[in-house]
Structure 1
Amino acid sequence: MPKSNRSKKQAARRKTAATGVPHAAVVNGTAHRHPAPDFGVLDSRPYGVTRQVNLAPAAALVSAARAGCRPCQKTAIPAVLAGDRLVVATLAGTPFSLLPSIGFLSPASVKLWQAGRRMLESAFEGEAPAAPMLALLESLSQEELRDVLEDALDLWARLGAVPEEAAAPFVGEREEHAADDEDDLPEATAPPENPFAGEGLVYLSADQLADGIPLPMLLQSAVAGTVEDRITEHAHDLFDTLAERGPDAVREAVLLLAQYVLSGGAYGAGIEDSVRYYRQQPPPDLRAPALTILHLLLAAYIAHGRTGAEALLDDFDDVAADTGLGVLRLLFCIAVLASGWPADRQQALTEELCADVR
């Protein structure tokens, strides 16, 4: 065989190994092109290791699963299974840890889900909070690893399905099999009403805030005070007050702020808009549970209204208290932006109020 032909074939094999694209398609120049998610650069330190991994096969596999392309999946799956288990952790570990229940996961996937939930409950404390997850993946057999990967692909495909066929991203298949146990969540048909419309955004000083002031007034006053550049006067006091009132007050505050943020109609309402919103957010991040839950919460509210948001919070009621307060702080900053805070100052505001949120 001429040397030039050998070089071309070797290059094609390297591309197949690196991207998961079928070898014949690479050689013939007929490779399928599916829109792939951007996994960015994996920071392996939370897993207790320091090494670089190629996430291109993972992105190719997800894009093929979303497109329902069996040939591309058939080629990409072996490439992922034969590669670094950190790639499988990216595909399966993080999404599984955010599922509210095990649904119909395989036994190996359930183990991974349990490891992820323990990390959520511990608020990812320590230098390598995800090390147990990687250790678990490295202990699995090839058959178990394939089961995990296929479960992950089902989840990613659901996230990328067309809106008419997809449930909300956070809703598992349990609804299909548990109709006798609970009613299906209604689909939101319109943005929610502004919970502060009747009172308006009126700032109250610390002296004016009585202990028994209703929560809606407390929230809208804090938003108004922040817009008026009275950040330290009231916003931090709000967070401290809600923490003292307990988890129920934090939960209700989160729901009210979500309602306020969505009441402007910018995000739409219904499952189609929910899927669109969720696709636009960064991939779930083990190191940022509050931000990840925030995106799931807003997607739930967009899809099913307050009922859906409450159902999501019920599924996450066992997360650390600091994570719940982190969701509150992040959502508060979004509410402030919706109230007229200058966009060019949003980053500074978020750093002021959410510097320690993970």
Structure 2
Amino acid sequence: MVKKQRKKGRDKRRAERTGAARASAATGNVHSHTPLPDLTLLADLPYGAGRELNLDLAARLLAACFAACQPCQRTLAKKLRSEQRPTLAALAGAVFGSVPAVGVFTSPTTRSWAPLARAAAGAHSAAMTDGRALAAVEAMDDEAASDLLEDTLDMWAVGTPEKVADLLQALRSPEAPPRPADPLDAFREAGVKVVTLDDLDLPEVPDAVPHYSVVLTRKFMPDGRPLPMLTLVCEGAGAGIADLRARTDWAPWDLRRLPELDVNWRVRVDIASRTLRCLVHTDAEGDDDHRLWAAAEDVRLPDTYWNLLDTAQHVLVAGPLKDGRDESELKTAADAGELLAVVARVSFQ
């Protein structure tokens, strides 16, 4: 019995070390993908915030991707997501922290996290970073972490171990040789296929797109509980009631009864920085199909408003107003039949 238990222990440790399934480890039929890329430079990048990284696990995962070995990829990726979030942040940051914009085919999770990675890149070293990029990765649920890792591996896996090493060297801190004028050149030289908006046959977007700013406030529900509220204020040519009617299906609001809940409208907020990101409409699959408002910069929400968002999980969105500083403007717009509103869900990322 003792001998059998020891064998099980050895099989378990071998499975953890190699990434193989337990049955494969027990028979000695484990996968070993070589050569492993040298990822030691990941520790010099700021995305792991100075935390200890499991570079061996990361290297074996990339090697499994190079070999297109799905069983090893699944096993190692699960271990990385669940146990090695600093390593995940470092792998992802090495890619998305150096490009000016993420690809159009990346997940919403990666698109919202990439600005944090770019901000961390300005710290130049792991010791100097403020840790927001890592904090955001550690706060992700398994689905979001899986999306970030999948996007990251899609970028790395088209290279080779040698090209990955060259790319990491190019992405090292500014004390190293200067980067190319175009950061995307480093990925092209490493064999990574780069797709930009210029490469896509997209329709031209008018220069003067109506846009809005938002004012934070709250509204009390019939039972007396407070509900966070965003008021849209017109900014730029074309913004107004006609534009909102054309771009939304929001109903007129008279300030009395709460408007209807529409789960397809989402107010996205960033957990790590406690900032508003955007107001979007989603399709049946949950993908963004229309963005009505996006933050021009990161402004940390007041603690009271953040706590209200966290408690209510929904936001009353109303507009448009021409000024937004006078609360009586809401009533004026409502009396004139020029106030639209909806209750949207809060999406924490």
TM range (shorter): 0.3 to 0.5
Query: Larger relative contact order (C-alpha < 8 A, sep ≥ 6)?
Result: 1
Q: TM (normalized to structure 2)?
A: 0.46
Question: Greater strand percent: which structure?
Answer: 2
Question: Greater helix percent: which structure?
Answer: 1
